[in-house]
């Protein structure tokens, strides 16, 4: 998959695709319905399949003080799209020029003149252009005017629930990673570099890999059964705490602390990806390190039973 970060003066090889347009944070099942429509057009016309998104995320610009909301890192998003067969990932700069384009100008200057799109797939609730005045209906009009096809994906959901990134975030904030996974079509995973910490866990018998949460949505503070992918592709079961570890002074920013079972290798400064499989309990303050250690050993036993069937 090729990543293109511009929309002006592109070579012919980067133009003429059937594209899915949206933010695609999480690439959940609703997003996949939009991408599937673009894929059908790409196959029919024998042209590349593209996805258009924006960086930074428009929400970061228009709601700068909003809580962290990211569901995937840029690398995770690129890998997810590649697995779906996307040929070109357009990560367009959401700069002052882009923000001030009307919906008509966006369709004309970016989609038609810039990317030379042959087909555009959008979701039923998309808005685009300055003031978010563009809609699926206006996109159809612009497609007819500028000569590209348009398809609109209907809402996707289950039991009356519309799948959405908002629904994923709420599930994670509630401590329901299984529900988040159902909407995403895969487990929610935090990816980041393993940082040096106090190495207290190693002293107490449960060495942890510490990863900052960065721009990710902050899941419910607590303990989770997890699976972690290492850079070499190995996937290891474990148990993790997300929060500020109130028993130990000095932790301010929430972070992930994951204990990888039956593993004792140096992975500092390496990037790992930890999937939250199940919520076990809320984060708690303990009267002593001994009491905390006893609880963590019980958490580990519960996680092993859930993940491996071990008692």
Cis status, amide bond into 140, omega within 30 of 0: no
List helix spans (H) across the chain: 29-45, 58-62, 74-83, 96-99, 103-105, 136-146, 165-173, 177-184, 200-204, 289-308
Contact 22, 53 (CB under 8 A): yes
pLDDT at 204 over 80: no
Contact 28, 168 (CB under 8 A): yes
Residue 218: phi and psi, rounded to 5, are -90, 110
For residue 79, what are its two tokens? 């890998």
Tens-place pLDDT, residues 229-285:
999 999 999 999 999 877 666 566 889 999 999 998 999 999 999 999 999 999 988
Tens-place pLDDT, residues 61-76:
888 888 889 999 999 9
pLDDT at 201 over 80: no
Q: What's the pLDDT at 203?
A: 65
Q: What's the pLDDT at 245?
A: 77
Tens-place pLDDT, residues 101-133:
999 999 999 999 999 999 999 999 999 999 999
Whole-prediction pTM: 0.90
Cis status, amide bond into 56, omega within 30 of 0: yes
Per-residue DSSP letter, 186:
S
Contact 241, 283 (CB under 8 A): yes
Per-residue DSSP letter, 155:
P
- What does the alpha-carbon distance between residue 26 and residue 302 come to, in Å, rounded to a whole number? 28
The closest of 224, 240, 226, 237 to 175, measured between CA atoms, is 224
CA angle 152, 64, 90 (to 5 degrees): 40
- What does the alpha-carbon distance between residue 192 and residue 211 come to, in Å, rounded to a whole number? 6
| 209-212 vs 255-260, strand pairing mode | antiparallel
CA angle 52, 186, 209 (to 5 degrees): 100
Q: What is the DSSP string of 43-75?
A: HHHT--EEEEEEES-HHHHH-TTSPP-BSS-HH
- What does the alpha-carbon distance between residue 33 and residue 156 come to, in Å, rounded to a whole number? 8
The closest of 75, 22, 26 to 217, measured between CA atoms, is 26
pLDDT at 309 over 90: no
Mean pLDDT of the chain: 93
Domains annotated for the chain, with CATH where assigned, are 2-158 (3.40.50.620), 188-308 (2.40.30.30)
């Amino acid at each position: 998959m090729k990543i293109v970060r511009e929309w002006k003066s592109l070579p012919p090889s980067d133009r003429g695709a059937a594209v899915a347009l949206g933010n695609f944070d999480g690439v959940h099942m609703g997003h996949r319905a939009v991408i599937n429509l673009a894929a059908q057009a790409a196959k029919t016309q024998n042209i590349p399949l593209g996805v258009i998104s924006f960086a930074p995320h428009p929400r970061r610009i228009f709601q700068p003080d909003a809580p962290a909301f990211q569901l995937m890192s840029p690398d995770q998003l690129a890998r997810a799209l590649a697995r779906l067969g996307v040929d070109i990932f357009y990560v367009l700069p959401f700069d002052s020029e882009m923000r001030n384009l009307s919906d008509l100008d966006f369709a004309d200057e970016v989609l038609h003149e810039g990317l030379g799109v042959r087909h555009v797939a959008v979701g039923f609730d998309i808005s685009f252009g300055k003031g978010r005045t563009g809609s699926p209906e206006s996109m159809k009009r612009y497609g007819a005017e500028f000569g590209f096809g348009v398809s609109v994906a209907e809402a996707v959901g289950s039991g009356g629930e519309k799948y959405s990134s908002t629904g994923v975030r709420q599930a994670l904030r509630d401590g329901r990673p299984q529900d988040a996974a159902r909407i995403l079509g895969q487990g929610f995973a935090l990816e980041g570099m393993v940082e040096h910490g106090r190495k207290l866990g190693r002293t107490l018998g449960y060495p942890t890999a510490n990863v900052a949460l960065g721009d990710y949505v902050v899941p419910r503070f607590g303990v989770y059964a997890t699976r972690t992918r290492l850079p070499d592709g190995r996937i290891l079961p474990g148990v993790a705490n997300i929060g500020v570890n109130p028993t130990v002074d000095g932790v301010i920013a929430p972070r992930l602390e994951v204990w990888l079972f039956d593993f004792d290798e140096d992975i500092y400064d390496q990037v790992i990806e930890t999937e939250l499989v199940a919520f076990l309990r809320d984060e708690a303050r303990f009267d002593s390190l001994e009491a905390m250690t006893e609880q963590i050993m019980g958490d580990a036993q519960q996680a092993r039973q859930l993940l491996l069937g071990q008692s």
